[in-house]
Amino acid sequence: MSSDPALRRRLIARFPMIFALGEAVGLGFQAIRAYKMRAFLTILGVVMGIMTVTGMSAIVAGLNASMAKQRTCPPTRGGAAKASPRRRSRPSPRAA
């Protein structure tokens, strides 16, 4: 930016929100530099939260897909094409 103070004052008067935003961003970076550990822990917490939500949604989507697949083609017994209930065998007659 130009070093002319009059020009700077006119720009600030004409576009106050742009300069306020720039000042806020500058103050934010100063605070991050001053409190490095706090900033690191905050960023770590946000990243871990996002990873947890993403992981849980992936697990739920996988379970839903697995259940939908099981519903459309149920497993069969012994590789038979059609599952049928088992018949009970009759007990053999005892010799008296």
User: pLDDT tens for residues 24-42?
Assistant: 999 999 999 999 999 999 9
Name which of 92, 75, 71, 91 is nearest 83 in CA terms: 75
Whose tokens are 């599952």? That residue is 83
Q: What number is the average pLDDT over the span 1-23?
A: 82
pLDDT per residue as tens digits for the range 66-90: 888 887 766 666 555 555 566 666 6
* Residue 8 lies inside a defined structural domain of this protein: yes
| Residue 25 backbone phi and psi in degrees, to 5 | -65, -40
Residue-averaged pLDDT of the chain? 83
* Residue 47 lies inside a defined structural domain of this protein: yes
* Residue 81 lies inside a defined structural domain of this protein: no
How many structural domains compose the chain? 2
Domain of 28 in residue numbering reads as 1-34
* Residue 65 lies inside a defined structural domain of this protein: yes
* Residue 41 lies inside a defined structural domain of this protein: yes
Cα 45 from Cα 56, distance rounded (Å) = 16
* Residue 64 lies inside a defined structural domain of this protein: yes
* Residue 84 lies inside a defined structural domain of this protein: no
**Does residue 82 contact residue 76 with C-beta atoms inside 8 Å?**
yes
**Residue-level pLDDT at 9:** 85
